[in-house]
Amino acid sequence: MTSPDSCPAASPDGAMTDDPTTDGPPSLYGPEFAADPESVYGRLRSFGPVAPVELSPGVPGMLVTDYDVALEILRDMDRFPRDARRWQQGIPSDCPILPIMAYRPTCHLSDDPLRARLRDAVTDTLDRVDQNILRGFVERCADRLIAQIGPQGEADLRTEYSLILPLQVFNELCGCPAELGDRMVAAIQEVLKWENSEEANMTLGLAVLELMALKREQPGQDLTTWLLNHPGELTDEEVAHQLVMIIGAGSELVQNLIINALRLLLSDDRFAGDLSGGSMSVEDALEEVLWTDPPLANFGVTYPLEPLDFHGVKLPADEPVVISFAAANNDPSTLAEHRAGNRAHLAWGIGPHTCPAQGQARIIATVAIEKLLDGLPDMELAVPVDELTWRPGFIQRALSSLPVRFPALPEPEPDPFAGPSRADERDDADALETLAAPAPAPAPVAQEAPAPPTPARWWRRLVKWWAADTD
């Protein structure tokens, strides 16, 4: 397990302080911040639109809490590039936030011209996913999970539903066999715990390489094959990193969006009277969560190449400038009384690094919630809402658990929810529309993934990238 003292100049207790200019900057880690981040944002606003914080023990950064200033930074790639390599040279390899913030050749962590080429490949690939097929994936996965938890009469909706569903859907879209997908899921969850993250980071990288090796031998109608064959001619390293971004970041943010919206639907009187009323209340809940508790709370990290005097604040060179999407969305100067239908929030980012998968994420979250509310219409929280706890970490805004109870459903007939047959999976894959370059005809799906090939030179380079080794 990573020790908090593994980062330089670790503070003795990581406690939040009141004045970032005299007593040291507030920390954005630990249970105190997770329990009440808005109080920290409120204190930081009193020092201007950007204020110093501690991202991890001994790791300083600057946090942007002002909506208009956040927009300015997100749109300015010249003064605020995304490449973290100069910053990470001074960060120990076992620092828990390094696997999340270290440079990768992905469309959200790189600068032009690389960013544009990678983003074209990712958006072209995601655009080839037929929305009706995606809805079918989500519905089948939701049905299976509801059938499993329904007879229990109680469940933790995070660990038994929202955590599992988006990972299964993204693995399905990437053509990932079940056993390999299980390994990816386990590794992603370890990375996001920020414990043993270096080892989990390596495990995840090797699993992605194995998936790529499988798809080179047996291409299909899936995101992995399409990225490998995209006319942008991505290297194997680049393909692997885009896959981790899609599966890891996509599934993590979607699960947080689902669980945060369910918390709102089950606890807020504005929604509680109409839980089975259909898509309108679900859409309203999703939009409110994207404003008030966005699943990606603080990210969009940039690294000025030289010191900047910016809105009266001195920004050091090569020090992270983190956009607080949560704080900027709730900037008192821009709050509106009525947000229904207003999508001017920053939850998906904005500008050249806008989330390329937001359409797919919204479909997955909406269908997952609707299916759950239809399947368990009398569901209620098992504990008072103020007793729910939040996971630590400054990047995500996510509940630790969401316990609920409901009238138990009858036990299902033996084995009707064992999952789609291989034939069904091939039918769904074949139905995905080809909107970019023609994909090769799918080969029969293998029962087990073949062993990865003998490591080639590019393979060893990618392992070094995954370990955040840029020497």
| CATH 1.10.630.10 for domain 104-292+347-386+397-471 | yes
Spatial separation of the C-alpha atoms in residues 140 and 146, rounded to whole Å: 10
**The predicted structure's pLDDT at residue 248:** 81
Q: At what angle do helices 358-375 and 250-267 cross, to 10 degrees?
A: 40
Spatial separation of the C-alpha atoms in residues 377 and 370, rounded to whole Å: 10
Query: What sign results for the dihedral spanned by CA atoms 321, 15, 327, 253?
Result: positive
Q: Is the pLDDT of residue 270 over 70?
A: yes
Q: Express each pLDDT in 163-176 by its tens digit.
A: 999 988 988 899 99
Q: Is the pLDDT of residue 223 over 60?
A: yes
- The residue that leads in pLDDT, 463 or 204, is 204
**According to CATH, where is 3.30.43.20 located in the chain?**
1-101+297-345
Per the DSSP assignment, residues forming a β-bridge with 324 are 298
**According to CATH, where is 1.10.630.10 located in the chain?**
104-292+347-386+397-471
252 membership: H or E segment, kind and range? helix 250-267
Q: What does each C-alpha distance from 160 to 40, 404, 409 come to in angstroms?
A: 31, 11, 16
**The predicted structure's pLDDT at residue 390:** 93
Number of helices (H) and strands (E), helices first, in the chain? 20, 9
Q: At what angle do helices 422-431 and 131-149 cross, to 10 degrees?
A: 150
Least confident among 12-26, 172-186, 294-308, 448-462: 448-462
CB atoms within 10 A of CB 336: 9
**The predicted structure's pLDDT at residue 268:** 84
Share of the chain above pLDDT 70, in %: 77
Spatial separation of the C-alpha atoms in residues 336 and 200, rounded to whole Å: 42
**The predicted structure's pLDDT at residue 444:** 39
Q: Is the pLDDT of residue 182 over 70?
A: yes
Residue 160 corresponds to which tokens in the numbers above? 């038994």
Is the distance from CB of 83 to CB of 318 less than 8 angstroms?
no
- The residue that leads in pLDDT, 42 or 467, is 42
Nearest Cα residue to 285 out of 348, 357, 399, 370? 370
**The predicted structure's pLDDT at residue 423:** 39
**The predicted structure's pLDDT at residue 436:** 33
**The predicted structure's pLDDT at residue 162:** 95
Q: Is the pLDDT of residue 161 over 90?
A: yes
Q: Express each pLDDT in 115-137 by its tens digit.
A: 999 999 999 999 999 999 999 99
**The predicted structure's pLDDT at residue 463:** 54
Spatial separation of the C-alpha atoms in residues 188 and 155, rounded to whole Å: 23
Q: Express each pLDDT in 433-452 by its tens digit.
A: 333 333 333 333 344 444 44
**The predicted structure's pLDDT at residue 1:** 35
Least confident among 143-157, 196-210, 214-228, 376-390: 196-210
Q: Is the pLDDT of residue 9 over 50?
A: no
**The predicted structure's pLDDT at residue 435:** 31
- The residue that leads in pLDDT, 425 or 193, is 193
Average pLDDT score over residue span 362-376: 95
Q: Express each pLDDT in 325-368 by its tens digit.
A: 999 999 987 765 555 556 789 999 998 999 999 999 999 999 99
Q: Which CATH number fits domain 1-101+297-345: 3.55.50.30, 3.40.50.2300, 3.30.43.20, 3.40.50.1110?
A: 3.30.43.20
- The residue that leads in pLDDT, 419 or 257, is 257
Cα end-to-end distance, the chain, whole Å: 25
- The residue that leads in pLDDT, 452 or 309, is 309
Task: Examine residue 92 and say whether the peptide bond preceding it is cis (omega within 30 degrees of 0).
Answer: no
Spatial separation of the C-alpha atoms in residues 340 and 299, rounded to whole Å: 25
Spatial separation of the C-alpha atoms in residues 168 and 98, rounded to whole Å: 26
**The predicted structure's pLDDT at residue 249:** 82
- The residue that leads in pLDDT, 212 or 431, is 212
